[in-house]
Structure 1
Amino acid sequence: MPFDYTLDFHHVDFRAQPELYRVGKGEQGVLLVEPYKSEILPFWRFRTPAVARESSEVIYGLFLAYLEKSDFVGADMARKFLQMGFTRARRYANHRGGKKYDGPVPDDKKGQSGAHGRAELPRTAEDPVKAEAAAIFKAKWDEAKQHPEYLRQKAEFEARYGK
């Protein structure tokens, strides 16, 4: 099932109601799903390779802790934060200032990815610091999404609650 953006994210506790969670594609819901967003976001940083290394290790530790508790939603959210560390650091590596598209996001498209009719800005010279930070997150993201216990819990979750 696709990620459900119609839920009242200000009032849903996905730890108490995991049946409402959908994995979705990529990073969908990463900044919406509570209490996990509030638990993981304070550790998410990618400014330098050293900061990215510490951040990705802390978030990967949370990922493992969620798996240990059989909390698939938490583990999936930690996986999404690792993925987002990679994608955002890559964006800053490719676009000085991190802005990929020209112009504001239309109000009815906020929270969604994509250009939405806006022109893509040209890439700047690659920032090697941000590229290294991205590679650090990419390695942890790959490790998380291939973790055997994560894959087992994901299959169990999808069988129980639907894709």
Structure 2
Amino acid sequence: MPFDYSLDFPNINFRQHPELYRIGKGEQGVLLVEPYKSEILTYWRFKNPEIAQESSEKIYEIFLAYLEHEDFVGADMARKFLQMGYTRSRRYANHKSGRKYQKNELKSGSKKEILPYDVDPIKAESAAIFKAKWIQAKTNEKYLQLLAQHKQMYEVD
């Protein structure tokens, strides 16, 4: 079931209403779903490997705490922040400005032009740190059990 962007996110506490949460794809909803966004975002950093290590470890610790409380939505949001740590630091590793595409007017049917790569080994290392924690989270046995349970209970077509 796709992520539902039509919900009134500022006025929903997903800890109290997990039935409204849809997993979606990738990082969908990572900056919308409260109270988790506010609980995790403050720790999300990837400027250099030391900061990325500290950040990813803290977010993984939060992930485990959510699992301990059988809070799938919180665990999934922490997983999404770890994934976003990987994808954003990878983006900056490849493009110093953080912009992947050339700014220009697109004509109907034309493809976006990707900017040239400007590899930053520091950000690449940050990305690798987040990727390892993200994989650890998304393959966690308890997470996978809660994921299946959430899908069975709430995401039935």
Which TM bucket (shorter chain)?
over 0.9
Following the alignment from structure 1 to structure 2, what is the Cα–Cα distance between the partners of residues 22 and 154? 11
Deviation at residue 119 of structure 1 after TM alignment:
2.4
Cα-Cα RMSD: 1.6
Structure 1's unaligned 5+ residue stretches are: 105-116
Deviation at residue 140 of structure 1 after TM alignment:
0.1
Residue 74, structure 1, aligned to residue 74, structure 2? yes
Alignment match of 1:142 (pick from 117, 135, 141): 135
Deviation at residue 100 of structure 1 after TM alignment:
1.1
Following the alignment from structure 1 to structure 2, what is the Cα–Cα distance between the partners of residues 129 and 86? 13
Report which stretch shifted further, 119-128 or 89-98: 119-128
Following the alignment from structure 1 to structure 2, what is the Cα–Cα distance between the partners of residues 39 and 118? 38
Matched position secondary structure for 2:97:
coil
| Higher radius of gyration, 1 or 2 | 2
Matched position secondary structure for 1:129:
helix
Matched position secondary structure for 1:43:
coil
What's 2:25 paired with? Answer: 25
Deviation at residue 118 of structure 1 after TM alignment:
6.9
Written as runs of structure 1 = structure 2, the 5 A alignment for 1:152-163 is 152-162=145-155
Question: Sequence identity of aligned pairs in percent?
Answer: 64
Number of residues of Structure 1 aligned to a counterpart in Structure 2: 152
Following the alignment from structure 2 to structure 1, what is the Cα–Cα distance between the partners of residues 118 and 103? 21
What's 1:131 paired with? Answer: 124
Deviation at residue 120 of structure 1 after TM alignment:
3.3
Is contact 1:103–1:118 with CA below 8 Å preserved after alignment?
A: no
What's 1:120 paired with? Answer: 113
Following the alignment from structure 1 to structure 2, what is the Cα–Cα distance between the partners of residues 21 and 66? 15
Following the alignment from structure 2 to structure 1, what is the Cα–Cα distance between the partners of residues 70 and 116? 42
Query: What letter is aligned with 2:21?
Result: Y
What's 1:97 paired with? Answer: 97
Is contact 1:46–1:55 with CA below 8 Å preserved after alignment?
A: yes
Matched position secondary structure for 2:60:
helix
* TM-score normalised by the chain length of structure 1: 0.89
What does the per-residue CA deviation read over 1:11-30, in whole Å, with 9 as the maximum and x for residues that have no partner? 01100100000000000000
Deviation at residue 162 of structure 1 after TM alignment:
1.4
Is contact 2:102–2:115 with CA below 8 Å preserved after alignment?
A: no
Deviation at residue 123 of structure 1 after TM alignment:
2.8
